[in-house]
Amino acid sequence: MAKQGWELSKKSFKYEFRKVEPSNNIIKIDFRTFKNNRNFKDYIALIIYSGWEHISGNKYSGTQYFKTVNESGEDYTFSDIYLKDV
């Protein structure tokens, strides 16, 4: 959808998109629960530091949505595909 000029702007009970210039942004979804707010903030900070933008999700939702900020962002966040080879 990003290549067609639609960007995921929010996820609540439905997906919300906004019209933008076409891009090659990638959206990743991660499911994770947190014991406290500090763990959640540290997790988000790590993802942002890796070149991703947090689009939607909170400490309680479990599901977190991210998009690449630019082409220098890491190719993945946390993925079993990459972790199985470690």
Are the CB atoms for 27 and 45 separated by under 8 Å? Answer: no
pTM of the model: 0.72
Q: How far is CA 75 from CA 34, 35, 39, 47, 84, in A?
A: 24, 27, 23, 12, 16
How many Å apart are CA 38 and CA 43, to the nearest integer?
9
Q: Does position 86 have pLDDT exceeding 50, yes or no? A: no
- pLDDT (tens digit per residue) in 23-53: 888 888 899 889 999 999 999 999 888 889 9
How far the first Cα of the chain sits from its last, in Å, is 32
User: What single letter denotes the amino acid at residue 85?
Assistant: D
Give me the residue spans of the domains in the chain.
Answer: 25-86
